[in-house]
Structure 1
Amino acid sequence: MHNTSIRRWLTLAIISISGGVSFDLAYLRYIYQIPMAKFMGFTNTEIGLIMSTFGITAIVLYAPSGIIADKFSHKKMMTSAMIATGLLGLLMSVYPPLWVMLCIQVAFAITTILMLWSVSIKAASLLGGHDEQGKIMGWMEGLRGVGVMSLAVFTMWVFSRFAPEDPNSLKSVILIYSGVYIALGILCWFFVSDGNGAQAQADSAGDKRTFSLKDILSVLRISTTWYCSMIIFGVYTIYAILSYSTNYLTEMYGLSLVAASYMGVVINKIFRAMCGPIGGLITTYSRYKSPTRVVQFLALVSVVALGVILATNRNPTSVAVGIGLILLLAFTCYASRGLYFACIGEARTPTYIMGTTVGICSVIGFLPDVFVYPIVGYWQDTLPPAEAYRNMYMMGLAASCLVIVFTFQLFRNIRRTAQNEAMTAEQAAQ
């Protein structure tokens, strides 16, 4: 029994780490935008285009990835997805021209979103009974973050070993990621089950309703679907903007490239591992008890942080203040990211349409992947740094205000539903 438990947790770690790190080469710009421009020869606008190519393809593939998770062997899908992603990395390491790079990003979306996104979530959920889902999903998010963070810190260390002008520095980073993906793919083959066990069969039978057109239309008619989608949209816009922190600190505060890149790791990786679980703790132990209210409070804090960033942007003097404000913004963003899918459950979404609701919210909520990167890249290439970053943080301010508006609407709806249920229960009791 003890061995079974160890194997279960080991399997969860492999699934979580694979699902987490698989995106790192597609999102290489998050830490290595300046080296990509220098060694691969792309402009900032082209790097933005490379990112949005992945984003656009991903948006199209989120919904079908759920059907893949129900129809195919989890072991075969995860193994082939990770190995294929590793092989694409090997092609990326030769610094191909722009058109090849764009094709690679489309292929990355197929291997990481279509073949892996829903499969990894479902494969993890099947490791426990229905009463263990909270624990398993919590650990999955934490393990993903730890995997991403460890690999990022290691590759940054390797990158910093090279001379600043050595093009092999970025190549080594890409090759390490590729090797890790292929190794994880092999581990998936030995540890991940096909997903055709008794519970998987039961789940598949229960999910049949999810794919009928009638249910999709009913999800689109529910107002809370749109409220949740817009909350995710707002938080995700801030998430995309935070990926420019490295550039902002280098260009506005004169931070060295290696120091700014380490800050990129702290903001995009370490905070990701820490802040999601902290958001859950705030919800559990504060007097709010509502994920929607906590996300609203965090959005108010981010409005304050962005206001101060915009005020100091004209005359940046203290690098410590700049870093502090960005870390505060990162905390509010990552804590909200750990909670925004919880809002769907809090909104009393019926279980049989939960999957469809998550799919639709993913499609709408992750749209910033499509437009933020090319717009900010264009600003970086055509405007003075102070003006480009002012525009970017104004966009972030608008997104935070969007979150405040829609969390207010959602919470009002949740409270009304709760009051109606209480009244119905009272009338039934009489």
Structure 2
Amino acid sequence: MQQHSYRRWITLAIISFSGGVSFDLAYLRYIYQIPMAKFMGFSNTEIGLIMSTFGITAIILYAPSGVIADKFSHRKMITSAMIITGILGLLMMTYPPLWAMLLIQVAFAITTILMLWSVSIKAASMLGDHSEQGKIMGWMEGLRGVGVMSLAVFTMWAFSRFASDDPNSLKTVILIYSVVYIALGILCWFFVSDGVSHEVKTTDRQKKTFQLSDILSVLRISTTWYCSMIILGVYTIYAILSYSTNYLTEMYGMSLVAASYMGIVINKIFRAMCGPLGGLITTYSRVKSPTRVIQILSVIGALALIALLATNHHPQSVAVGIGLILLLGFTCYASRGLYFACPGEAKTPTFIMGTTVGICSVIGFLPDVFVYPIVGYWQDTLPAAEAYRNMWMMGLGAMCMVMVFTFLLYKKIRATEVPLSQTGSPSQASGA
């Protein structure tokens, strides 16, 4: 491994870039909702339906993606996933009707979730031994953010080269993403290994993870539900932040290009920067508990949402609006960097950790299903001020939920610390 150190870091970069940018066409609305409505002819409600179609399919596919990672060649799966995603992008570039876009979104979920999600994480983890997992996963998250941010800035620059009413502007953005996906797929074929060399050693242990009895035991643990609801609340804010471009355009009168650049800052750059910051806070501050840090961040996020509600009907200073959204973004993305640390802090036994994370993902990522059609409906049927007031109220409810369940989880963790120190049994610490 050491003599090929340079190659494994190149491989890690390729896997990270692929895993990060592969979602960008499925989530094109995050930056380009207004151009999608203008050039593709979809209403905001229909765009919300397009997004929820991907979300519903993704929720179904998160769990079996782990089986795919264990059973099939990593090189073949990642390569085919990226190339097929690129080809789907070329179909999307033709501005298809709604029914075809819904089918494309289902296909995007198959390639990015079923074929790529768990495979990319496992392929990256196999680039080092147990002692290097923290370093590799940290770099993976950072490189994902860099890839997403760089491609978003480049496509936004390309988009801005066209006249505001030129439909080729959005087609060019989709084309760039498609070409990059196919190129990354080709690179994956030459750099990613099959990933089957260690399967014999782990087969028995992995089989236990997929037993129905283990899934039921995870569902009986109260901390599983606490962690799931924390993720659900944070991820609701993450989905709401994707409307930042629309909010700044409709409420503050920012130009589409300027608001889109702010969307990149909020949804891409902050994502790359703030995730690692959450880990730094738990490492170097007096608050060592990830659960407590998320709780503190949720209080700050709730205050930012209250301020957004207070300024919603009479927006005056765009700087204040941007500042509040950036503050909310910081609390969201820092929490996203920590919420999968909560099951470990709750002393979840190692042999059911994978199952726990899978169940938390299914429940926690449900906002992909309901947020977009609801907010899209509000945008289409209500005045802008009322639509965004409802959106911020939804976010405030989500933050309150995070505060409640971080309190319950931290209370559970503290209550089990004494029994754990006396008995040394992790199962007692994570029981219902």
TM band (smaller chain):
over 0.9
Which letter does structure 2 place at the counterpart of 1:77?
M
Which residue of 1 is the match for residue 357 of structure 2? 358
Deviating runs (4+, > 3 A) in structure 1? none
The alignment's TM-score, normalised by the length of structure 2, stands at 0.97
Which letter does structure 2 place at the counterpart of 1:410?
L
Which residue of 2 is the match for residue 246 of structure 1? 245
1:7-406 residue pairs with structure 2 within 5 A? 7-198=7-198, 200-406=199-405
Which letter does structure 1 place at the counterpart of 2:244?
S
How far does residue 417 in structure 1 lie from its aligned partner after superposition? Answer: 1.4
C-alpha distance after superposition, 1:117-141 (max 9, x if no partner): 0000111111111111111111111
Which letter does structure 1 place at the counterpart of 2:124?
A
C-alpha distance after superposition, 1:57-94 (max 9, x if no partner): 00000000000000000000000000000000000000
Separation (CA, whole Å) in 2 of partners of 1:207 and 1:347:
22
Which letter does structure 1 place at the counterpart of 2:299?
L
Which letter does structure 1 place at the counterpart of 2:173?
V
Separation (CA, whole Å) in 2 of partners of 1:281 and 1:423:
30
How far does residue 3 in structure 1 lie from its aligned partner after superposition? Answer: 5.1
C-alpha distance after superposition, 1:216-258 (max 9, x if no partner): 0000000000000000000000000000000000000001100
How far does residue 204 in structure 1 lie from its aligned partner after superposition? Answer: 3.4
Which letter does structure 2 place at the counterpart of 1:12?
L
Separation (CA, whole Å) in 2 of partners of 1:60 and 1:386:
35
Q: Unaligned 5+ residue runs, structure 1?
A: 426-430
Separation (CA, whole Å) in 2 of partners of 1:268 and 1:16:
18
Separation (CA, whole Å) in 2 of partners of 1:136 and 1:424:
33
Separation (CA, whole Å) in 1 of partners of 2:328 and 2:301:
5
SS at structure 1 position matched to 2:423? helix
How far does residue 380 in structure 1 lie from its aligned partner after superposition? Answer: 0.2
Which letter does structure 2 place at the counterpart of 1:46?
E
How far does residue 206 in structure 1 lie from its aligned partner after superposition? Answer: 2.1
Distance 1:2 1:69, change over 3 A: closer
Which residue of 2 is the match for residue 428 of structure 1? none
Separation (CA, whole Å) in 1 of partners of 2:261 and 2:204:
47
Separation (CA, whole Å) in 1 of partners of 2:95 and 2:79:
26
Q: Unaligned 5+ residue runs, structure 2?
A: 425-432
C-alpha distance after superposition, 1:325-344 (max 9, x if no partner): 00000000000000000111
SS at structure 2 position matched to 1:341? helix
Separation (CA, whole Å) in 2 of partners of 1:168 and 1:52:
26
How far does residue 269 in structure 1 lie from its aligned partner after superposition? Answer: 0.4
Separation (CA, whole Å) in 2 of partners of 1:384 and 1:193:
53
How far does residue 201 in structure 1 lie from its aligned partner after superposition? Answer: 3.2
Report the RMSD for the aligned CA atoms in angstroms: 1.1
Separation (CA, whole Å) in 2 of partners of 1:424 and 1:67:
34
How far does residue 281 in structure 1 lie from its aligned partner after superposition? Answer: 0.1
How far does residue 203 in structure 1 lie from its aligned partner after superposition? Answer: 3.1
Which letter does structure 1 place at the counterpart of 2:128?
G
SS at structure 2 position matched to 1:54? helix
Which residue of 1 is the match for residue 412 of structure 2? 413
Separation (CA, whole Å) in 2 of partners of 1:48 and 1:58:
15
Separation (CA, whole Å) in 1 of partners of 2:420 and 2:343:
18
Which residue of 1 is the match for residue 428 of structure 2? none
Separation (CA, whole Å) in 2 of partners of 1:258 and 1:171:
16
Which letter does structure 2 place at the counterpart of 1:70?
D
Percent pairwise identity: 81
Separation (CA, whole Å) in 2 of partners of 1:75 and 1:396:
40
Which letter does structure 2 place at the counterpart of 1:40?
M
How far does residue 202 in structure 1 lie from its aligned partner after superposition? Answer: 2.3
Matched positions, count:
425
Moved more, 126-135 or 241-250: 126-135
Separation (CA, whole Å) in 2 of partners of 1:62 and 1:2:
33
Separation (CA, whole Å) in 1 of partners of 2:304 and 2:329:
10
SS at structure 2 position matched to 1:260? helix
Separation (CA, whole Å) in 2 of partners of 1:204 and 1:70:
8
SS at structure 2 position matched to 1:295? helix
Separation (CA, whole Å) in 2 of partners of 1:293 and 1:12:
32
Separation (CA, whole Å) in 2 of partners of 1:401 and 1:204:
42
Separation (CA, whole Å) in 2 of partners of 1:172 and 1:10:
28
How far does residue 424 in structure 1 lie from its aligned partner after superposition? Answer: 3.2
Separation (CA, whole Å) in 2 of partners of 1:46 and 1:3:
53
Separation (CA, whole Å) in 1 of partners of 2:98 and 2:237:
27
Which residue of 1 is the match for residue 429 of structure 2? none
Separation (CA, whole Å) in 2 of partners of 1:17 and 1:3:
24
Moved more, 218-227 or 130-139: 130-139
Which letter does structure 2 place at the counterpart of 1:45?
T
SS at structure 1 position matched to 2:263? helix
SS at structure 2 position matched to 1:23? coil
